[in-house]
Structure 1
Amino acid sequence: MKMFLLGAANPEAVRMILTLQRTAPHVQFAFLDNDPAKQGTLFHGVPVVGGTARVRELKGPDTRFVNLITGSTELRCRTTREIVEAGGTLGDFIHPGIDLTMVSHGVGTYLQEGVIMQAQVSLGDNSSISAGSVVGHEGRIGHSVFLAPGVCIAGCVDIGDGTFIGTNATILPRLRIGRWVTIGAGAVVTKDVPDYAVVAGNPARIIKTNPVSFQDGRVFS
């Protein structure tokens, strides 16, 4: 099995590779990155073999691709669509210490160490959750969503496609967060948030609106 990880930026990904190789030594890892300066180099000892333009060449029945881009959910969605449109098969990059009992998730999932997802949480395709974040029971996370480190989402919360939730943000129970929302670091969300809103503060308030780039975060047509 070969796994290509898009985005040679965070050394934590290399630490996850080393952890996974203890139990799955047959998996070969390499990075893709669309920055020409990184291509042909080593990222903490792991080769960067090119960008998304190489997917058609690298794809195969035993090859998987996972997008590690998290700084922009719009960029994450767009570049994963490029992989899929080039015929690449999405895989998952999940820390082995995470308990996924009674949890469902799509493909292209990137979960860092210390993530907790409680019973009956569902996670869409191409979504990423960073270290130490918690998603309460019966939560629904859409496609191409990103949770930064230390996010706390209470039970029965619905997170729309493409939403970006900043470090240490808190979302109270039974709320609906719309599509392509941005929630600022440390925000405390106490009521529903409409599509494309940018919210910040405690309690969180709308401070502006994101441009409408995508209607949803799906990566499969």
Structure 2
Amino acid sequence: MNLYLLGAANPEAVRMIRAVQRANPIVEFAFLDNDPAKHGTLFHGVPVIGGVERVADLKGPDTRFVNLITRDTRTRYETTRQIIEAGGTLCNFLHPGIDLTMTRMGVGNYLQEGVILQAEVSLGDNSSISYGSLVGHEGRIGHSVFMAPGVAIAGCVEVGDGAFIGTNATILPRLRIGRWATVGAGAVVTRDVPDYAVVVGNPARIIKAQAVPYADGRVFN
């Protein structure tokens, strides 16, 4: 199987590649990146073979793609759509140490080392969860969501499509984080966050509303 990762930026991805290959040596990896200066180079020993324009040439029955871009959820959504519209098939890129027992997930997800998904967590498509983050039991995480390092989400929380949750944010039980909302780094969320809101602080408070980018974060029509 050939797995192409979009976004040659974070060396942690290369460490994950090595962990996956130790567990499953038949998987071959290369990077795609939309920066032409990186094409034809090695990113920590892994080749960068082009940008999303290569997807149409590379697609095939044994080829899969994962988007590693986490700059913001809008960009992640748009670049993953480019992969799909070019005919690419998504799969998940998960650290092999993550326990997925009694969890459910879609495709196109990127989960780093140390992520904990407790029992009955569900995760949509095209989401990224950074190292050391926890999703408590029965949590529901939507499509095209990003969680930065050290996020702590208590049980029975719903996170809407396109939400961005900053480093070390804490979300208390049974709350809802709205679609395309942003939770600032270190925020402690004690009440529901509306769609498109930006919240910061302890307790978290709304400081502004964002423009509505999309109705949802689905990357499949």
TM-based fold match above 0.5 = yes
Query: Could you tell me which residue of structure 1 aligns to residue 215 of structure 2?
Result: 215
Tell me the residue number matched to 2:63: 63
Q: CA deviation at 1:166?
A: 0.3
The match for 1:186 is 186
Q: Quote the residue 2:41 is aligned against.
A: 41
Q: Which runs of 5+ in 2 are unaligned?
A: none
Q: Is the aligned partner of 1:160 residue 2:160?
A: yes
* Cα displacement string for residues 119-174 of structure 1 (whole angstroms, at most 9, x for unaligned residues): 00000000010000000000000000000000000000000000000000000000
Q: What is the one-letter code of the residue matched to 1:82?
A: Q
Amino acid at match of 1:192: D
Q: Distance in 2 between matches of 1:132 and 1:23?
A: 21
Aligned to 1:9: 9
Alignment of 1:195-214 (within 5 A): 195-214=195-214
Query: Hey, what's the Cα distance between the residues in 1 that align with 2:210 and 2:35?
Result: 26
Q: Deviations over 1:74-112 (max 9, x none)?
A: 000001011111110001100000000000000001100
CA distance in 1, matches of 2:60, 2:190: 46
Using the alignment, how far apart are the partners of 2:67 and 2:218 within structure 1? 14
Question: Could you say which residue in structure 2 is the equivalent of 1:75?
Answer: 75
SS for the counterpart of 1:180 is coil
Is the aligned partner of 1:151 residue 2:151?
A: yes
- Which residue does the alignment assign to 1:29? 29
Identity across aligned pairs (percent)? 77
Read off the aligned partner of 2:177 and give its amino acid letter. Answer: I
Query: Residue 126 of structure 1 corresponds to which residue in structure 2?
Result: 126
**Root mean square deviation of aligned Cα:** 0.5
Q: What residue identity is the alignment partner of 1:92?
A: N
Name the CA distance, whole Å, in 2 between partners of 1:30 and 1:59: 13
The offset of 1:22, in angstroms, is 0.8
Alignment partner, residue 85 of structure 1: 85
Q: Distance in 2 between matches of 1:143 and 1:75?
A: 13
